[in-house]
Amino acid sequence: MPRRPRIATGGIVYHVLNRGVGRMNIFDKPGDYEAFEKVLVETHARFRCQILSYCLMPNHWHLLLLPRADGELSEFMRLLTVTHTQRWHAHRQSAGTGPVYQGRFKSFPVQTDEHFLTVARYVERNALRAGLVERAEDWRWCSLTQRRATTTKLGNIMSPWPVSPPRNWRRIVNRAQSAAELEDVRCSVQRGRPFGSKRWQIRTADRLSIAQSLRPMGRPRKRETP
């Protein structure tokens, strides 16, 4: 059965995620993270899709992106993952041994209000949540650190947020998120469900033809025979 074309309208923020195939590590050493960041900078130079936030983890990564035009997100992600996969194999002399990523990237649209801040916080506290650091800002491979590093290429190309972060943003990122908040974000990750207010979810799902992402999971109940 052919894949449905992925619809990505420009002017909407998207949370994007991909993992190593079989959850294998994509990044084993600092040079691996740096190589991915280099590809991210090169891809941005080609498409200019706005990079708002990101976090690289040993076996997966998160991006918050704002494409300018319809279809730009897919083109950006295609170039990013294909280039990174080729260089990953070339560095390890493992060409022809199989894929690096588990498949196509997952994504969901994000409303640009407090919901954006919720997702940005989720992204930027990934390493802290995984127990890799004691403070979120100690993780080198994350926008929380890079946003202030204007001497780096990636720090220089990161775009301002569509929502102003609170002045105590780092403190907020280091504060634990509730179980309900985490569940809401993870549900959007798994189902591609728009993350925002109920009205915005419905309107955006209709606009992007992803109304099925709002439906309850599982098979519909069978009606009882009268």
Q: What is the pLDDT of residues 142-183, one digit of tens each?
A: 999 988 776 678 888 899 999 999 999 999 999 999 999 999
Sequence-distant (6+) residues with CB within 8 A of 167 are none
Q: Is residue 182 part of a domain?
A: yes
Residues 203 and 201: their CA atoms lie apart, in Å, by: 6
Q: Is residue 38 part of a domain?
A: yes
Q: Provide the token pair at 80.
A: 């990013």
Q: For 43-102, what is each residue's pLDDT tens digit?
A: 999 998 999 999 999 999 999 999 999 999 999 999 999 999 999 999 988 877 889 999
The whole domain housing 62 covers 13-205
**% helix / strand / coil in the chain, to the nearest 5?**
45, 15, 40
Q: Is residue 104 part of a domain?
A: yes
What does the pLDDT average to over 178-203? 95
Q: How far is CA 112 from CA 74, 115, 116, 194, in A?
A: 20, 7, 5, 11
Q: Is residue 28 part of a domain?
A: yes
Number of domains in the chain: 1
Q: How many Cα atoms within 13 Å fall on the side-chain side of residue 144?
A: 26
The pLDDT, as a whole number, for residue 86 is 94
Q: How far is CA 88 from CA 43, 77, 93, in A?
A: 16, 16, 9
Q: Is 202 exposed, middle or buried (0-12, 13-18, 19+ CB in 10 A)?
A: middle
Residues 85 and 95: their CA atoms lie apart, in Å, by: 9
Please compute Rg for the chain using Cα positions: 18
Residues 125 and 76: their CA atoms lie apart, in Å, by: 24
Tell if the pTM clears 0.95, that is, is over it: no
Q: Is residue 224 part of a domain?
A: no
The pLDDT, as a whole number, for residue 226 is 37
**Which run of H or E residues covers position 183?**
helix 179-191
Sequence-distant (6+) residues with CB within 8 A of 136 are 124, 125, 127, 128, 142, 144, 170, 173, 174
Residues 32 and 63: their CA atoms lie apart, in Å, by: 17
Amino acid at 59: N
Q: Is residue 88 part of a domain?
A: yes
Residues 175 and 61: their CA atoms lie apart, in Å, by: 21
CB 14 within 8 Å of CB 195: no
Tell whether the model's pLDDT for residue 204 goes beyond 70: yes
Tell which wins on pLDDT, 7 or 90: 90
Q: For 97-120, what is each residue's pLDDT tens digit?
A: 889 999 889 999 999 999 999 999
CATH classification at residue 64: 3.30.70.1290
